[in-house]
Amino acid sequence: MIIAGIDEAGRGPVIGPMVMCGVSIEEEKVRELMNLGVKDSKLLTPAVRNLLAKEIRKLIKDYRLVVVDPPEIDRTLRNPSSNLNLLEAAKSAEILDFLNPDQAILDCPSVNLKSYKIDVQKKLDRNTKTEIIALHKADLEFPVCAAASILAKVTRDELIEKLKLQHNTDFGSGYASDPKTVIFLEENWENEKFASLFRKTWESWRRLRRAKAQTNLAQW
């Protein structure tokens, strides 16, 4: 039986992409993932994640990465009938269409597991018999989901470093909890040079826009 796991990295930051990853593996090889020390990417150092990512790619049957840039995230969230969970469901379906496993374990972002599972099934293009299991914190319990989380995180980190080189700047991790990101956001939020970096539907970006609008109104 072929088992797949799906997880994401970068759902929350105000800067940079979200990366989703699906990993498929033969059921009898799952224990080998455990033997490698695969676990939720947030519990690992960057150096360990990079080493594990190489070993994971050697062991698994296949994988699929989907990069969702800030403009696509913003377009989704500006649509009244959509949200970030539905976007993840659509990308999960895209991954499953490619991997076509017998069983798929999804790290579910929604509080409603049943509803999220249905949303993924509706988006599938392939006439598949894949058994879909949606769970909270699946990357903590299932090695195949942890493997997906590692590949997603390593890929996002690589993309962030490429963006820093491309724009010749250091904006930190992209998370609003990062002081370097906060400073960069405050200084550059309306700079067209960096427009593609920001998720403009995020409250941290919108707050700065509102503050400027209020200032302009007061001056007028």
Residue 219 is predicted with a pLDDT of: 58
Query: What domains does the chain contain, in order, with CATH numbers?
Result: 2-164 (3.30.420.10), 167-212 (1.10.10)
| HEC secondary structure over 96-113 | HHHHCCCEEEEECCCCCH
Tokens of 125: 């293009």
Residue 214 is predicted with a pLDDT of: 75
- If the chain, 220 residues long, is cut into consecutive pieces of 10 residues, what is the mean pLDDT of each piece? 97 98 97 93 94 97 98 97 97 96 96 96 85 96 96 98 98 96 97 97 95 68
Residue 132 is predicted with a pLDDT of: 96
Pairwise CA distance, residues 32 & 50, whole Å:
17
Residues whose CB is less than 8 angstroms from the CB of residue 3 and which lie 6 or more positions away in sequence, other chains included: 24, 25, 26, 27, 30, 101, 102, 103, 104, 105, 144
Residue 216 is predicted with a pLDDT of: 61
Residue 220 is predicted with a pLDDT of: 53
Burial bucket for residue 197 (CB in 10 Å: 0-12, 13-18, 19+): buried
Residue 127 is predicted with a pLDDT of: 64
Can you tell me which residue has the tokens 């509706």? Answer: 122
Residue 213 is predicted with a pLDDT of: 78
Global pTM? 0.94
**Which helix (H) or strand (E) element contains residue 197?**
none
Residue in 81, 75, 95 with CA at minimum distance from that of residue 19: 95
Residue 69 is predicted with a pLDDT of: 98
Strands 2-9 and 18-26: antiparallel
Residue 126 is predicted with a pLDDT of: 73
